Amino acid sequence: MNRPPQSPLATPTIDEIWRRAATQVGFTLARTQDAYASSDGRGGISIGATETLDADDALAQLVFHELCHAITEGDGALRQPDWGLDNVPEHVAREHACLRLQARLADRFGLRAVMAPTTPYRAYYAALPADPFDAVDAVTAAPGEEDALARATAACARFDASAWRAPIEQALAETAAAIGVTVDGARELHPLGFALGPTAESCGTCAWAYDGGRGIAVTRCRQTAPVNGDGARTARSHPACAHWEPIVDCQTCGACCREAYHSVTVSMRDPVVWKEPDLIVRHGPRFEIRREGERCAALDVRPGEARSYACTIYENRPRPCREFAAGGRHCLDARRRVGLSPKPAARANGAPAS
């Protein structure tokens, strides 16, 4: 099975930006086969080797997260392995404080979504409000969040007054520039490397945004998905890219019932075999829905300026048709085959689109 596409942050240039940032604030950075991300309490940060990480992880976001932990926990934590944290309920508020700080610092450069954690805490991070220090948001109302917010606020104040601010903000600015985001937040490219699209639209209104992936589902882009595997992570708040399309209207599309596919094979036990016998063609042990030229014989094509398509046996349609998801992987493939959705070219950051 193919791996999902890489994070837009997973480039040698951006790796070097964050190696330099870690060095400038006093850490030695190493890659390891034995950990996802950890600190040794002696000035060393270890990040999992590329082959041990998920494809949508990147050195940049992991280093940034570790530095945010160090800032949140304070000077005393620098001499403790993993900043003095363990994976225990008593430390959840401290993890949440780190994520609030991470969102606040990334927001200054338009990087919140791409700098998201990929651990089980990513759902918490995704639920943070536009202002991650908002004292009245729904997340803050959860138990322990008053402590998390207080810790994050104090950490941000320490950061702003510290010698760490300049190298870390420089790394964030250079990262933003590398993926097409200017320091003032204006975008030259979509964070996934595509040219920008309709200014009034966003990933949230695009047919090809979906929630999925391993573990807790996150928003991803169908346009970047390989033949097998998930698309790259995005955010519904991101501006539309040049491959933006409105939510698919099956009755103005009909791609899956037209020349995109050459047959619909059905089981001999499928009710359509006896409910719609005139539409069934048998080839030895195999049953198919009859075709009329390049389209399904059950497809009603209504001509006119706005041509439309309708299934005449919709209530009795076979199982393959019932399982065909509008906006899914096969839907996009069908639309590309009939020319309704162009296949995107390589992204500007060098990663293949699909």
Residue 55 phi/psi, 5-degree rounding, is -60, -30
Residue 149 phi/psi, 5-degree rounding, is -65, -40
Confidence (pLDDT) at 99: 95
C-beta neighbour count of 179 within 10 angstroms: 25
Confidence (pLDDT) at 2: 44
The C-alpha atoms of residue 288 and residue 171 are separated, in whole angstroms, by 58
Q: How far is CA 158 from the centre of its chain?
A: 31
The C-alpha atoms of residue 342 and residue 279 are separated, in whole angstroms, by 32
DSSP bridge pairs for 48: 32
Question: Would you say 239 and 197 are in contact if contact means Cβ atoms under 8 Å apart?
Answer: yes
Residue 348 phi/psi, 5-degree rounding, is -65, -25
Confidence (pLDDT) at 354: 44
pLDDT digits (tens, 9 = 90+) for 180-204: 776 555 556 787 878 788 888 889 9
pLDDT digits (tens, 9 = 90+) for 89-143: 889 999 999 999 999 999 888 888 888 887 788 888 888 888 898 876 666 667 7
DSSP bridge pairs for 175: none
Residue 169 phi/psi, 5-degree rounding, is -70, -30
Confidence (pLDDT) at 179: 84
Q: Which has the closest alpha carbon to 8: 190, 137, 163, 149?
A: 190
Amino acid identity for residue 270 in this structure: D
Confidence (pLDDT) at 253: 94
Q: Calculate the alpha carbon distances from 106 to 14, 217, 245, 324 in Å.
A: 15, 22, 28, 39
Question: Would you say 30 and 44 are in contact if contact means Cβ atoms under 8 Å apart?
Answer: yes
Amino acid identity for residue 297 in this structure: A
Confidence (pLDDT) at 35: 85
The C-alpha atoms of residue 334 and residue 68 are separated, in whole angstroms, by 44
First to last CA, the chain: 14
What pTM value is reported for the model?
0.59
SS3 35: coil
The C-alpha atoms of residue 118 and residue 30 are separated, in whole angstroms, by 20
**Which residues of the chain are under the pLDDT cut of 50?**
1-3, 350, 352-354
